[in-house]
């Protein structure tokens, strides 16, 4: 069996999920992993236990991060904060745009008048259920 031995400095610069990804790739190719400083060697029972423990910690870390993101979004929502970019076309501008379209003004002219890109205009029209 081939064994890859690395110093601890390689492990300290990586995230746990990234380290596990590397170790899984090595394991799939039949390569054992050994870290000098951490005393981790996947050819031993102790090393395999550490590897499995790291995997569990990585899953826990991902789940905890997801919970924090959701909690943060809910907290912001309660404070009245809305995520995403601010709308370029507010309700007042949208009414003016719709009036211009009904009057026969071209979409290109509307884009120039309001200083918006065509994609922005089409997105706003789609959001307002305007048939193109």
* Pair (56, 100) in one structural domain: no
* Pair (43, 104) in one structural domain: no
DSSP secondary structure string for all residues of 100-113: HHHTT--HHHHHHH
DSSP secondary structure string for all residues of 27-51: HHTTEEEEETTTTEETTSHHHHHHH
Q: What is the pLDDT of residue 64?
A: 94
In a domain, 83, yes or no: no
In a domain, 68, yes or no: yes
Mark residue 88 as left, alpha or beta (left: phi above 0; alpha: psi -120 to 50; beta: remaining): alpha
**What is the percentage of the chain residues whose pLDDT exceeds 90?**
40
- Which domain CATH number covers 72? 3.40.50.1390
* Pair (100, 70) in one structural domain: no
Please state the pTM of the whole predicted model.
Answer: 0.49
Number of domains within the chain: 2
pLDDT in tens, 66-110: 999 999 999 999 999 888 888 889 889 999 999 999 999 999 999
* Pair (45, 8) in one structural domain: yes
**What is the percentage of the chain residues whose pLDDT exceeds 70?**
94
* Pair (63, 101) in one structural domain: no
* Pair (31, 71) in one structural domain: yes
pLDDT in tens, 26-72: 888 988 888 777 777 888 888 888 888 878 887 898 899 999 999 99
Structural domain boundaries, residue 13: 2-78
- Which domain CATH number covers 95? 1.10.10
* Pair (53, 115) in one structural domain: no
Q: What is the pLDDT of residue 104?
A: 93
Q: If residue 2 lies in a helix (H) or strand (E), which one and from where to where?
A: strand 2-6
- Name which of 59, 57, 55, 39 is nearest 47 in CA terms: 39
């Amino acid at each position: 069996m081939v064994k890859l031995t690395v110093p601890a400095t390689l492990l300290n610069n990586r995230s746990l999920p990234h380290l596990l990804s590397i170790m899984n790739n090595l394991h799939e190719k039949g390569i054992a992993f050994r870290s000098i400083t951490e005393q981790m060697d996947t050819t031993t029972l102790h090393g395999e236990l550490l590897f499995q423990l790291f995997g569990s910690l990585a899953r826990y870390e991902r789940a905890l991060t997801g919970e924090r993101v959701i909690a943060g979004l809910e907290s912001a929502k309660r404070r009245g904060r809305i995520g995403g970019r601010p709308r370029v076309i507010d309700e007042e501008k949208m009414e003016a745009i719709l009036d211009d379209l009904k009057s026969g003004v071209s979409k290109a002219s509307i884009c120039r008048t309001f200083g918006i890109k065509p994609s922005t205009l089409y997105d706003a029209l789609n959001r307002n259920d305007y048939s193109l």
